[in-house]
Structure 1
Amino acid sequence: MFEEGQLYSTVSTDADGQVQVHLGEDHPGFTDPAYRARRGDIAAAALAHRPGQPVPTIDYTEQEHEIWRLVSAELAPKHERYAHSEFLAAKAVLDLPTDHVPQLHEVTERLLPLTGWSYTAAPGLVPLREFYADLGARTFNSTQYLRHPSQPLYTPEPDIIHEVIGHANQLASPRFAAIVEAAGRASERLETDEAMQFVADVFWFSIEFGVIAEGGVTKAYGAGILSSYGEMDEFGHMDIRPLDLGQMGTLNYDITAYQPILFRAEGLAHLEDVVGHFFATVDDDLAAGLRAQASAHV
């Protein structure tokens, strides 16, 4: 399993109120002071945001718009080849702009009439229970920064390309959106941290890195795959296993590498019957029982 904090660079506020994003030494922007300052400014806008206020508007630079244009153009043909038809249909209906970085309010305006979902700003890490509680209310916490321009087709952490091209297109499907909402609502029933983490790990192997059979071919629906230029070329060669909630909730994995083990649903109805039903019904006892069964088979 993973600790969610590993996904995002740490954000802190100095005594003088200056917001800093602490990039790892292997981050492409670590030695770029302009990029680090930009990340701090964008994080500060999210930190200053309060519920009920308009989502912060970011004045994106031409360089940032160019990153969005490039990645959108490079991902499009890979989506046509590798994405499940439900994702492709939702993407077509949502019709995100490809010529500029959309503001989060633009994403909400397109998404809300389709599935009732909205986007709000996050500086980076959102505490697990808060993140899932918001999913249960059909609200997605999204970062607003973009990856470093030196590596436009790679990011070591979720940026707005992952959050919007990956997740918003997914959430434009009523069927995928219902599964995500059920995962969020599960957090209202779970009392133990272990059960909450189990749900988060099943979410990782489904909503983030899920694959699905379609027409005799393995297709992707997970946002982590479909927002990654490199991962789309690799996922078909991985160890692809049948859906197994116990394994999905307990398997150790490395978020810094392509996922070597994936779990495939045999169709969208199968995904709903297994993963969707699990999210809709899981409680502390069920999560503990699945964890125990998985441990017994190791």
Structure 2
Amino acid sequence: MGRTWSDDRTPVSPDGRLGPARRHPGRSDPRYLRRREAIVAAARGHRLGDPSPPVVYTPAEQATWRTVCAALTAAHREHACRALLSAWAEAGIPAERIPQHREVSARLAERTGFRLTPAGGVVPNRLFLGALEHGYFHAVQFVRHPALPLYTPEPDVIHDVLGHGLHLVSPEFAELYRAVGRAANRVRTPEALDLVNRVYWFTLELGVVQEAGGIRAFGAALLSSYGELAALHRCRVRELDIRAMATARYPLTGYQPVLFAARSLDHLRDVLLPFLAEFDEDTGRRLGITAPPRVRVSGC
């Protein structure tokens, strides 16, 4: 199970038509589910910071990686912000094969001190977000279903490496992740933690920025989804605003229809870093936020 982006209606055919999530092959193919569970089970019981167990990926899984890498390379040139295009080169992620967690971690540690730590089941939000302060990102190792390589209803190794991995090779983005972790570790109530979740969700997962006369993606969920990148022009884009993000409803009905845009990545940092540095149990009350809808962002 794990971080679930759409639990109601999701693309269930190569042309992106929507249907019940239960019809997505990644939810219903017994052979795929057995393989997925075997990879997840191997990571269960790990301690934070323990190396991820190696995975021997099948030829079909490697082919899925190559298909998605080729599609995302082209989509990023058109839809991703310049900083993330630079991160591709810095990350050194191979396009021809799925890298092991240890390979990705070695590069991240060299650049920003971050490492991937294996997610062996649902990771509670407090642990998932709190680990960021200490330079650990809970990441999965299984690959999305090969029948729909350009869409997944949940995070997979492609999302975590080609989305969050690109962030965490960048010192500027890594600083934001650590700030999220510090804020999460500073509070104890579910309401305060949920507010951190929501800010994380609408920025580091689904954020966009105004650049080159248009909207460019920087959120990890967007960067790892060819379909959502192609659908950016159909989204309603609102100005980056903490209170608006904290009170926005996230409809679990396929692609996210409302995104929040920073004027620049410097603007993103100028908004997020002071907010997260001052975050405490009373932040929601000061912003006039009462019982915002919950968003789960915990790892698989």
Give the structure 2 partner of residue 113 of structure 1: 110
> Is the alpha carbon distance of 1:29 and 1:83 closer, same or farther for their aligned partners in structure 2, counting shifts above 3 Å?
closer
- Per-residue deviation, 1:66: 0.6
2:212 to 212, 215, 237: 215
Percent identity, please. 44
| Contact 2:246 2:289 (8 Å CA) reproduced | no
> Is the alpha carbon distance of 1:149 and 1:188 closer, same or farther for their aligned partners in structure 2, counting shifts above 3 Å?
same
| Contact 2:247 2:289 (8 Å CA) reproduced | no
Structure ranking higher on relative contact order (CA contacts 8 Å, 6+ apart): 2
Give the structure 1 partner of residue 65 of structure 2: 68
Give the structure 2 partner of residue 82 of structure 1: 79
Give the structure 1 partner of residue 149 of structure 2: 152
| Contact 1:90 1:173 (8 Å CA) reproduced | yes
- Provide runs of 4+ in structure 1 moved above 4 Å: none
Give the structure 2 partner of residue 130 of structure 1: 127
Structure 1: 5+ residue stretches without partners: 10-23
Matched, 1:241 2:253: no
Give the structure 2 partner of residue 141 of structure 1: 138
- Per-residue deviation, 1:268: 1.2
1:96 to 90, 93, 97: 93
Matched, 1:279 2:276: yes
Within 5 Å, which residues of 2 pair with 1:153-192? 153-192=150-189
- Per-residue deviation, 1:188: 1.7
Q: Give the letter for the 1:29 counterpart.
A: G
Residue by residue over 1:214-237, the C-alpha shift from the partner in whole angstroms, topping out at 9 and shown as x without a partner, is 232211100111100110011233
SS state at 1:213 partner:
strand
- Per-residue deviation, 1:254: 2.2
Q: Give the letter for the 1:76 counterpart.
A: T
Give the structure 2 partner of residue 253 of structure 1: 250
Larger mean CA deviation between 282-291 and 93-102 belongs to 282-291
Residue by residue over 1:230-285, the C-alpha shift from the partner in whole angstroms, topping out at 9 and shown as x without a partner, is 10011233111111111111211124411111111101111001022212221111
RMSD: 2.0
- Per-residue deviation, 1:27: 3.2
Q: Give the letter for the 1:237 counterpart.
A: R
- Per-residue deviation, 1:124: 4.0
- Tell me the distance in 1 between the aligned counterparts of 2:142 and 2:253: 19
Matched, 1:194 2:191: yes
- Tell me the distance in 1 between the aligned counterparts of 2:134 and 2:49: 14
Q: Give the letter for the 2:161 counterpart.
A: V
Matched, 1:262 2:259: yes
> Is the alpha carbon distance of 1:52 and 1:83 closer, same or farther for their aligned partners in structure 2, counting shifts above 3 Å?
closer
| Contact 1:198 1:250 (8 Å CA) reproduced | no
- When normalised by structure 1's length, the TM-score is 0.88
Q: Give the letter for the 1:120 counterpart.
A: T
Q: Give the letter for the 2:133 counterpart.
A: G
> Is the alpha carbon distance of 1:236 and 1:275 closer, same or farther for their aligned partners in structure 2, counting shifts above 3 Å?
farther
- Per-residue deviation, 1:103: 0.7
- Per-residue deviation, 1:170: 1.3
| Contact 2:112 2:174 (8 Å CA) reproduced | yes
| Contact 1:120 1:140 (8 Å CA) reproduced | yes
- Tell me the distance in 2 between the aligned counterparts of 1:31 and 1:259: 23
Q: Aligned pair count?
A: 278
> Is the alpha carbon distance of 1:284 and 1:43 closer, same or farther for their aligned partners in structure 2, counting shifts above 3 Å?
same
Larger mean CA deviation between 95-104 and 49-58 belongs to 49-58
Matched, 1:229 2:204: no
Residue by residue over 1:145-188, the C-alpha shift from the partner in whole angstroms, topping out at 9 and shown as x without a partner, is 11111111111111111111011011111111111110011012
- Tell me the distance in 2 between the aligned counterparts of 1:137 and 1:226: 24
Q: Give the letter for the 1:279 counterpart.
A: L
Larger mean CA deviation between 209-218 and 163-172 belongs to 209-218
Matched, 1:35 2:20: no
| Contact 1:8 1:124 (8 Å CA) reproduced | no
Give the structure 2 partner of residue 289 of structure 1: 286
Structure 2: 5+ residue stretches without partners: 7-20, 293-300
